[in-house]
Structure 1
Amino acid sequence: MKPLPYTRKKEILEMLKRNDFLDINQLSQKFNVSYMTIHRDLKELEDEGMVSRIYGGAVVSDSVRSASDAPAPSADLTLEERFRVCQEEKKAIARAAAAYVEDGEIIGLDASTSALQMCPLLHEKRITVVTNGLNVALQFSDSETVSVMVVGGLLRKSSLSLSGLRDQELLQHINISKCFFSATALSFEKGMMELNYEESESKRELLKRTDKLFVLADHTKLGASAPYVDCTYEQIYALVTDRWPNASQRQADCLRNFEQSGVRVIYGTQV
């Protein structure tokens, strides 16, 4: 059976990381699909900043190849494990971010623990939430004012998220005012990044329908790196983070670069 498009693209990217160059004909034979199918896959990966196409094939992009240059998370943590990391910082970030949600809006929330911290603060808002997180959707099950749209995909048990969007036709009919997304890592040079390809793909699809992206990132994410790029800094409207008195030079440089580029930096305050 032929792999699904998002699975095939993930495998192509992993192959490119291990090889200097891959030929389209070689990939076509491996996946038993046409030359044009691989050509479209490579075009999509190039549009996502993952690869660079050259005559007859492709090479992995410099940003992906150099991802190991910066500190990176060592594992894709479970939901419970992530809840224990920077709890107070995430609560402060959630309060600051929730203040930007207005009645009547359609907003996007990912399945992150930072987004989960926002949910109680939005419970009485008259809004529609679009999410790939089952955990997020359940937070509004008893709200009389919040409508929820869950976009489908494969279940990631570690995060209770649906990734590798299958219901893209639904998104074509939605205009999202603001997305509030966390990230595995964030840097000015490489953008917002994930450890998981399917999770990154889901975010990229949602961002295509979004007016403003608010990135929720505690100080541990700043200046770090991960394999898969959700978006570059140009797509970020605001960065919501915590004030960390012992910030490293790398973290301070990251914040300064975002501010100087025109990205709004919003600080959450712990109580």
Structure 2
Amino acid sequence: MQSDRINKIQHHLYSNGFARVEELADATGASIVTIRRDLQRLEENGIVTRTHGGARLADGAGPEIAFQARAQDHVEAKRAIGEVAFGLLRPHTTVFLDAGTTVLQLARRLRLEPLPLTVFTNGLAVAQELVNVENVSVNLLGGQLRNENLSMVGPYAEQMLGELWFDQLYLGTSAVRDDARMYTLNPAEASLNRVMIGRTSQPIVLADSSKFGDSAPYAVAPVTAAHTLITDSRLDAAWKTRLAELNVAATVVPLGRTS
């Protein structure tokens, strides 16, 4: 409960800038006394700066909060996809988990039920999720830190990938455009993703239904590059038909009805 409330406070401040205590209480359903106590703790941790009657995000806290906010988008679908992806993991293999927020849900599922795996990742949040998880060996790529995605990118990361081979790759995507290609928001991320795909025989794409028909500027690869694609049942019928026509091995995870 407290963790959910703290996340809501952070996301509200990220979206709105300054917010009054009363506004945060309404947004979280908590009392004003509770919100003031939460803000004090967040300020002690360097996440917010309290002002008269309210608070704003502290300087430098934006990228992490932005990542957390994206992680909460379509979280039901991401968790369901992560659960199905977990079922594809095989003990005593080497896998790559990319820095996407849907893949992060897979890492969280692995933390709950560890398997003996060697994991490589370029995602700081993914690596942090798997710290001290029994039987999971975690390896983080070097390179340049991309703040917006808490990920490592660039030529050094690509060079390291070129010396590795993975039994499976679990890859997220920012968008699957109407040309049936996967896209992302950053050119270095797109370049690294292409190298990832070339270092495995089983690229497994995790993409919730909101990504289909969406747009991002930098092409990664055709969706047909996926050995397996896992999405959710809110994917519209036209895209389901399209994936079948492209012979993409798609697993559609059932979700509850939208309200």
**How high is the TM-score relative to the length of structure 1?**
0.65
Q: Distance in 2 between matches of 1:188 and 1:174?
A: 32
Q: Give matches, 1:10-29, under 5 Å.
A: none
Unaligned runs of 5+ in 2: 1-64
Provide Cα deviations, 1:139-189, integer angstroms capped at 9, x if missing partner.
Answer: 111112111121122112222111124144432332111111111101462
Provide Cα deviations, 1:109-134, integer angstroms capped at 9, x if missing partner.
Answer: 11111111111322311111111101
Any conservation in 2 of the 1:190–1:229 contact (CA below 8 Å)? no
In structure 2, the CA distance between the partners of 1:187 and 1:167, relative to structure 1 (3 Å rule), is closer
Provide Cα deviations, 1:173-218, integer angstroms capped at 9, x if missing partner.
Answer: 3211111111110146241110111111111111111111111111
1:265 counterpart residue number: 250
1:177 counterpart residue number: 167
Match of 1:219 among 195, 209, 217: 209
In structure 2, the CA distance between the partners of 1:104 and 1:116, relative to structure 1 (3 Å rule), is same
Over 6 Å off, 4+ runs = none
1:85 counterpart residue number: 73
Give the deviation of 1:135 after TM superposition.
Answer: 0.8
Provide Cα deviations, 1:29-75, integer angstroms capped at 9, x if missing partner.
Answer: xxxxxxxxxxxxxxxxxxxxxxxxxxxxxxxxxxxxxxxxxxxxxxx
Q: Give matches, 1:221-240, under 5 Å.
A: 221-240=211-230
Any conservation in 1 of the 2:172–2:205 contact (CA below 8 Å)? yes
Instruction: Between 222-231 and 82-91, report the one with greater CA deviation.
Output: 222-231
1:95 counterpart residue number: 83
Q: Distance in 1 between matches of 2:155 and 2:205?
A: 20
Unaligned runs of 5+ in 1: 1-76
Q: Distance in 2 between matches of 1:191 and 1:255?
A: 15
Q: Distance in 1 between matches of 2:73 and 2:101?
A: 9
In structure 2, the CA distance between the partners of 1:172 and 1:163, relative to structure 1 (3 Å rule), is closer
Q: Distance in 2 between matches of 1:234 and 1:266?
A: 14
2:94 counterpart residue number: 106
Any conservation in 2 of the 1:200–1:228 contact (CA below 8 Å)? yes
Q: Distance in 2 between matches of 1:122 and 1:111?
A: 15
Q: Distance in 2 between matches of 1:146 and 1:221?
A: 30
Any conservation in 2 of the 1:94–1:268 contact (CA below 8 Å)? no
Q: Distance in 2 between matches of 1:201 and 1:252?
A: 31
Q: Distance in 2 between matches of 1:182 and 1:168?
A: 17
Any conservation in 2 of the 1:258–1:265 contact (CA below 8 Å)? yes
Q: Distance in 2 between matches of 1:196 and 1:252?
A: 29
Give the deviation of 1:270 after TM superposition.
Answer: 4.3
In structure 2, the CA distance between the partners of 1:111 and 1:204, relative to structure 1 (3 Å rule), is same
Give the deviation of 1:260 after TM superposition.
Answer: 2.1
Any conservation in 2 of the 1:188–1:257 contact (CA below 8 Å)? no
